[in-house]
Structure 1
Amino acid sequence: MNNEELEKQYSPSKWTHRCSPDEVVKQHIMIVAEESEKAKSEIECQIDRIYGDTERQKLDIFGADTLPGDAPIFLYIHGGYWQMMDREISSFMVRPICKAGAVVVVIGYDLAPKVSISEIVNQCKKALSYVFNLASHRGSSGVYIGGHSAGGHLAAMMLSVDWMSESMQSNSMIKGALLVSGIYDLQPLVNTSVNNPLKMTQETAWENSPLKHLDAIKKTSSHRHIIVAVGQHDSPEFRRQSQEFQQKLKDGGLSSQYVDVADTDHFNVVENLQNEDYELFKELIKMMKLNINDVVDDMAKTSCN
């Protein structure tokens, strides 16, 4: 594939079936921002909890003061090609997930070009260590990690970590993952404009690719269920990467499923998690062993501090 074709394949907005590329990005930001504000106004939350040394190394926790201690925790990592988006507009899926009975944590991280892809991965490890401590303190039934696009890549990288060596936490703490339209081999991005702020070489791109760490993922994930999802109107390359990654997980003996979400593109495939009738939302709730019908009656916001 020449560089021009690679550029097109890894430009998700060019493949939307709904509107122009510029419009779909604007709509996405508007929708996730509006829904995130609703979550903060309606769901009890703890905002701007610090897990690291820089301004973006913060996380938001929803439902922890309302839900029982053993409630599962869903940790979400936003996308944006490691150079855009933010935690502050990434809590759009919180309301239905909390109401179904799970605590939700949304993490932020520094962006390129300020930091490298390796540093972003390290920051996500720190954030997850923070959440493990929260889960242990609460007596949570388990942590489930999710992410979209670049966040899907980062969530997949977290599956490869030996958490006992990293933070003296059991690998069994992570029970499952929802990876939505992720990138699992970063090497094709090296010769695209996506790499301008990242400045990855082929070597650093491969070192930070979940595909390189399949053996580690297999070793740490025998007890986990991993959902790999992609939109019908994602680009052929995004779809190929998701299909191949899930197949390798399956071939490695892991519990995994591939979900090809009809009539969605790279953006509304994750936006729709705000809807409890949505296919991926139902799969997430089922993975966390929750029942959509047993919603929490009173998730009213009492404080957001």
Structure 2
Amino acid sequence: HEFRALSGEHGTEDHLPLRPRPSSGRRPEISHRERFRDRHRFWERHWDRPRGRHRDRRRERHQERIHDGWVAGHVHGARFSSGPPVGGFRVAPPLPRCLPLQALEDHYSPSRWSPRLDRDSIIDAHLAVTAAGTERARASAQTLLHVPYGIGDGEKLDIYFPTDPSETFPVLVYIHGGYWQSLSKDNSGFAAPPLVSQGVAVVAVGYDIAPKGHMDTMVLQVRRSLIFLVERYPRIRGIYLCGHSAGAHLAAMVLSTDWTEFQVMPDIKGAVLVSGLYDLEPILHTYVNNALNMSREVAQRNSPMRHVTPAAPAACEMLVAVAQHDSPEFRRQSQEYSQVSIRRSQEHGQVEFGVHPVALLSPQALRAAGWSVSLLDLAGVDHFDIIERLSEDSYVLTQVILNMISRA
């Protein structure tokens, strides 16, 4: 069509004005600049025109790729693939095709989705709540702070011991969020009081955040922190992981670890992943990656969605929790990671826990790899207070964690 428009085979007024032909019938020589200008004008004029059956066939091929379990699209003009399906099929494309930059960043900005406060205020409030809760926990519990588990500046642990420790005790390892570039273990002890009072030790893990820390380094550091705990405290009776946001991602990466490389097998009996990200490719195109500076290869290598391994040990229980007021992308990633089959039946339906109605949805995907998986959709909370309220004894997520530990 471009050739016909430029050569004059279609002489309608909608096409480009034709240049006079020389008597020999050959087109006059034109510069590269003029040729580029003419092509630009042509596509600018004809790009949005209906394409009839060709357009319909493209739509059909796109739908066929969805049904085949492989979805391709474009983000900011760069083609991406959602990756091979984990389990049966891929629920939806990672993002709508040709999503504008601002919309993409909004989808991965949890602070924009809270109904409680504006974007800046919700972050300030979160910092204040977690810092105050950590101070109370340090004042009320027996602690061992800033314990080095490696030589890095951020490789330190805060340990909150049970009130009445027995000969052996379970440990909850908490991994903080902050988009891998903020927060620290120093405001991550707020969840300790309800757990230490029930005989559970709590360990807040520190790691080198970006830009100092690389994504590969952070994942390795969290893995090494567990090895340190196992070797330093042989009285541990089971390890339970809990991570929020970026910390949920790191906890999920721990679950995908090939421990034969480390010659140590931590006894991980459960994991609670709260409002996490499990596919890092979409954030490559957002402000989040400014500090992380991840390449596509790094993002793929550190995406738990792509590395679902058999559960070790096989009895490991996983709970994927997500807030009602998380962003649509955070909610989608939580649902996809657990590969949930949303069937609200008498067995898996609405259940009341205090003032928090939650939907227990029946997940299927990770079960194929030996995981016992549940998805917990908490109503009335956002990306921040879903984890802040772990300081409350009666909070549904606190009770779920204690029940998980008691069943082991």
Q: 1:182 matched to which residue of 2? A: 276
Match of 2:139 in 1: 41
CA distance in 2, matches of 1:74, 1:290: 15
**Residue in 1 aligned with 2:333?**
241
Letter of the structure 2 residue corresponding to residue 281 of structure 1: T
Counterpart position of 1:271: 388
Contact 1:159 1:221 in 2 (8 A): no
Question: TM-score under structure 1 normalisation?
Answer: 0.90
On the 8 A contact 1:149/1:181 being kept in 2, the answer is: yes
Match runs of 1:1-305 below 5 Å: 1=96, 2=99, 3-63=101-161, 66-135=164-233, 137-138=234-235, 140-166=236-262, 168-170=263-265, 173-214=267-308, 216=309, 218-247=310-339, 248-289=365-406
Paired with 1:68 and 1:234, the residues of 2 have a C-alpha distance of 39
Q: Deviations 1:234-291 (Å, cap 9, x if unpaired)?
A: 0010000001111232354420110001100000000011111111111100111179
Using the TM superposition, name which of 241-250 and 45-54 deviates more: 241-250
Q: What root-mean-square deviation, in Å, do the aligned CA atoms of Structure 1 and Structure 2 show?
A: 1.6
SS of 1:124's partner is helix
Which letter does structure 2 place at the counterpart of 1:265?
A: D
Higher relative strand content: 2
Identity between Structure 1 and Structure 2 (%): 40
Alignment-mate amino acid for residue 316 of structure 2? R
| Residue 219 to residue 39, structure 1, CA distance change in 2 (3 Å) | closer
How far has the Cα of 1:107 moved from its partner?
0.7
Structure with higher helix content: 1
- In structure 1, how many angstroms separate the alpha carbons of the residues matched to 2:321 and 2:232? 28
CA distance in 2, matches of 1:251, 1:5: 35
Determine helix, strand or coil for the equivalent of 2:389.
Answer: helix
Could you tell me which amino acid in structure 1 is paired with residue 400 of structure 2?
Answer: E
Aligned to 1:296: none
Show structure 1 runs of 5+ residues with no match: 292-305
Cα distance change, pair 219–44 in 1 and its aligned pair in 2 (3 A): closer
Partner of 1:302: none
**SS at structure 1 position matched to 2:406:** coil
Deviations 1:101-130 (A, max 9, x none): 101110100011112101111111111111
Q: In the alignment, residue 109 of structure 2 is paired with which amino acid? A: S
Matched to 1:169, the amino acid is: V
State the secondary structure of the residue aligned to 2:208. Answer: coil
Return the TM-score normalized by structure 2: 0.68
Q: 1:25 to 1:145 in 2, by over 3 A?
A: same
**Secondary structure of 2:147's partner?**
strand
- Give the structure with higher Rg (CA): 2
User: CA 1:287 to 1:278, structure 2 compared with 1: closer, same or farther past 3 Å?
Assistant: same
Unaligned regions of 5+ residues in structure 2, if any? 1-95, 340-364
Give secondary structure in 2 for the equivalent of 1:141. strand
- Decide whether the 8 Å contact of 1:160 with 1:220 is kept in 2: no
Aligned amino acid, residue 380 of structure 2 = D
Secondary structure of the residue that 1:232 maps to in structure 2? Answer: strand
Q: Distance in 2 between matches of 1:200 and 1:281?
A: 34
Paired amino acid for 2:106: K
Question: Which protein, 1 or 2, shows the higher relative CO under an 8 Å CA cutoff with sep ≥ 6?
Answer: 1
